[in-house]
């Protein structure tokens, strides 16, 4: 099976950044996810939503990259929300205990609502 080249797009939704990783998060190319989040953090954004609808699989390298984002946001007292996760992703995050360091929502709009309410 031909693997999809990992890529990242993003958009700003109010005072939150929504990040869309695409492909298997399993190699150094996943650093683009950390970099994308870093750009928003550098601009003062403290709320990040990662929409995993196009990333069904992750391995230890991907976990390490996600750790980096959690750590970066923790340093600025920010929030990371993960949405649209496959069962595999959700199970893996739960098993590792990562789930306690992020907010999990079924859809992107749920996460944005939560973050919006947090501001108010």
CB of 105 to another protein, least distance (A): 21
- Residue 29 · residue 62 · CB < 8 Å: no
Residues 43-102 that bind another protein (CB under 8 A): 59-65, 67-68, 70-71, 91-92, 95-98, 100-101
Task: Count residues near another protein (CB under 8 A).
Answer: 22
- DSSP E strand stretches across 1-120: 7-13, 16-22, 47-51, 79-83, 103-105
- 18 or 52, CB closer to another protein? 52
Interaction between residue 1 and another protein (CB under 8 A): no
Identity of the residue, 19 or 62, whose beta carbon is nearer to another protein in the bound complex = 62
Widest distance between CA atoms in the chain: 47
Binding site for another protein (CB under 8 A): 26-28, 59-65, 67-68, 70-71, 91-92, 95-98, 100-101
């Amino acid at each position: 099976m031909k693997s999809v080249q990992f890529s990242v797009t993003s958009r700003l939704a109010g005072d939150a950044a929504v990040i869309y990783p695409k492909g298997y998060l399993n190699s150094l190319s996943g650093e683009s996810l950390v970099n994308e989040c870093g750009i928003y953090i550098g601009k003062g954004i403290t709320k990040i939503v990662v929409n995993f609808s196009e990333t069904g699989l992750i391995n230890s390298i991907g976990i390490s990259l996600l750790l980096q984002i959690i750590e970066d946001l923790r340093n600025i007292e920010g929030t990371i929300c993960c949405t649209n996760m496959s069962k595999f992703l959700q199970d893996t995050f739960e098993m590792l205990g990562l789930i306690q360091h992020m907010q999990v929502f079924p859809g992107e709009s749920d996460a944005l609502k939560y973050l919006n309410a947090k501001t108010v």
